[in-house]
Structure 1
């Protein structure tokens, strides 16, 4: 740990103003864990949701895009606070202070949300690879699964963090550059800052918000900070890390993609190749190639970061270490990497699948937020949340819960098929869990 981040006294360093105690230069050099969350957030599913939002509703959902960056930073801050103050993984803390049943619900919530996302993201990457090379997507799925296996199970966290920083920085730079050649109507765009939800926009809005406020991002943060050895002493650095990655980098990335899409795209039946061709005026004859490379790059960064999330939580629940030094964790990580190759056999148009994946993640997110808020106001931490942090968390819970409810209602409004039935069952189970958690907290407050 650098001298700039060392505590100046023995007093608590958990106040948010602790970020002023270090130098920006040292923070920029040492930041990292939140960028792995940023790599997942700035992935192909978010990209697909933003493009779809702009193409279908012009600038009307700009408020959701802006909200998503702030909400994502807040969610990561709360998760960061829990991880630093307990210096443990979220599953272990949940089991100790809520019970084994609640810990298993959290684990299953993450495994389902992250597992479905893994398969669809692999399908995206394999499809893009096949389009670029002419080699069958299923062969690419096997190859990418092998790369994940060797990279993550072989090199572990250090490789993942480095890749996340590089890929997110490149993605932000590419889309910011595009703003200089796209005709943005600033006046019309500003009207999109007024909260409205156009007909049929619930799924897309849930997808956009789900890119930033997602159960995988919230639950993984305690484990990535542990991998870096961060403790309460790094509170200022960790706060800066969240702000730089989620609020600034991810926020710029999201707004830039949305404004580009809202300005030049208008197609209710948008496909990945169709979007590339429509963006042709931006980069001429190479539009299709560059778009697919961008989509593939986003898939690579997200796939790698998402791969570690279920193994983190499952290993913690089973009492294993969450580093590759533990052979059991390494085997679990390798197994998840291999299984993800099955995503290449799904087939179908990837943009719609990606939006659906983020919306499904939004259904699983309110429960994770509720767990974090409960723990931050219990004896799990040495000092409870401030009123401001609690208020922000409650608003975050309400917004994500409302969008999730709208998405579920929209999914089942035309009848219950296997997909909408699964979404409904998933939502009902988690709603029951949330009600039970709120009731448990209320009883404890009343009894003292």
Structure 2
């Protein structure tokens, strides 16, 4: 059963990044267990959307952008959609790549100190480039399984050792409440979990693992299991962080206090290791997804070893390294990326729903009525949250 774990683990690795660890830690410190429901909702939405994307990729043997290109007949509308997708993914992933590398850099600083501060971005970027340049899909899959496994065990054990009270935990998990000042945290928790570029990544990678429609049940198992584990990690971070005394979070590494029940004085080292692992996995998956999107939008039909494919992810990584090495903080670009992703998720969810209901390409593997109902609820939620995040970002530009 566990040999059937595949691209779902890369999807989980993509959303368990420094942003997720930070957002979940701050949610736990500030609001205790009250926002666990937001993670549960996000994970269920992610499972539904990623299952549709993976099923589309398996049945059609196409990536998401390829399917859009094939199904949209009118040229002007097709190029408009592809332009929006390409722009949002490339710009968004480039902006967030600096954050991914920055999270890994914070991890190295915690482990080795700030002595080589200026070299850390180059070291992280070199790791990411090396793994993508020489690593096969199977090798990347194994690396991510190990890294996610270590993070999962650490945070889950830590969450148990904090001895959380069961009733407040269950209330936070199953009774949605938005406390005063917590709305933006809710948006952050959802935004770091339901990631638009993961839809493209999953649809493109599913055929690296499986070749036949007969494997659909394993595709679904992989999706639910891997994303479920990612959700448990996020919840465990919230539970562990809820034990941190309020008011003691001044820097990201103060979040290491949440690991002290398990690691004691070594908590800083293990938080550093976790941040490095989370940053590195996201620093690999974000440019990889962008390369797949560019490959489809431009119709290259290139392999992962093709110079055009490599040039996309290489450029994104180098920009991230450059931004941090020269102390350039792309705040405005990141804010624009948040707006772009806020617009992109509902658009991509609508297009994905349309595609998986097309009997022309999906045959009898189209959505059920229950899947359509659930997907429509997710689309409405993504529109509301997207608009809310856009208004919030525009208000602080």
Equivalent in the alignment of 1:93? 67
Q: 1:265 to 1:74 in 2, by over 3 A?
A: farther
Q: How big is the shift at 1:204?
A: 1.4
Alignment equivalent of 1:390, drawn from 372, 375, 386 = 372
* Maintained 8 Å contact 2:17/2:279: yes
Q: For residue 235 of structure 1, what is the aligned residue in structure 2? A: 216
Which of 84-93 and 326-335 deviates more?
326-335
2:75 aligns with: none
The equivalent residue for 1:364 is 344
> Which of 87, 92, 103 is residue 108 of structure 1 equivalent to?
87
Give the distance between the partners of 2:188 and 2:326, measured in 1 at CA.
20
- Structure 1 CA distance for aligned equivalents of residues 181 and 259 of structure 2: 24
SS at 1:138's partner residue? coil
Query: In structure 2, how many angstroms separate the alpha carbons of the residues matched to 1:196 and 1:295?
Result: 29
Quick check: 1:61 aligned with 2:35?
yes
Q: 1:105 to 1:354 in 2, by over 3 A?
A: closer
Matched, 1:125 2:104: yes
Correspondent of 1:409 among 372, 391, 396:
391
Structure-2 residue corresponding to 1:15: none
Q: SS of the residue aligned with 1:411?
A: helix
**Could you tell me how far 1:303 is from its partner in structure 2?**
1.4
Q: Deviation string for 1:83-142 (max 9, x for gaps)?
A: 122110111111121222212212222222222221111112123323432333331111
The equivalent residue for 2:7 is 33
1:356 is displaced (CA, Å) by 11
Aligned residues: 386
Contact between 1:146 and 1:338, CA under 8 Å: does it hold in 2?
no
Is 1:286 the counterpart of 2:266? The answer is: yes
Superposed CA deviations along residues 46-76 of structure 1, whole A, max 9, x for unmatched, are: 1111111111212221111221221211111
* Conserved? CA contact 1:51–1:261, under 8 Å: yes
Q: How far off its partner does 1:354 sit?
A: 10
Counterparts of 1:288 and 1:190, CA distance in 2: 29
Normalised by the size of structure 1, how large is the TM-score? 0.79
Superposed displacement of residue 38, structure 1: 0.7
Change in Cα spacing, 1:47 to 1:324, as seen in structure 2 (3 Å) is same
The ranges of structure 1 where at least 4 consecutive aligned residues each deviate by more than 6 angstroms after the TM superposition are: 353-360
* Shift of residue 405, structure 1, vs aligned partner: 2.1
SS of 1:267 mapped into structure 2: coil
SS at match of 2:363: coil
CA drift of 1:155 comes to 2.2
1:201 paired residue among 164, 171, 182 = 182
In 1: Cα distance, 2:343 partner to 2:266 partner: 38
How far off its partner does 1:359 sit? 8.7
Task: Give the C-alpha shift of residue 200 in structure 1.
Answer: 2.5
User: Is there any run of 5+ residues in structure 2 with no aligned partner, and where?
Assistant: 73-77
Deviation at residue 362 of structure 1 after TM alignment? 4.7
> 2:285 matched to which residue of 1?
305
Paired residue secondary structure (1:381)? helix
Q: Measure, in 2, the Cα distance between the counterparts of 1:357 and 1:259.
A: 29
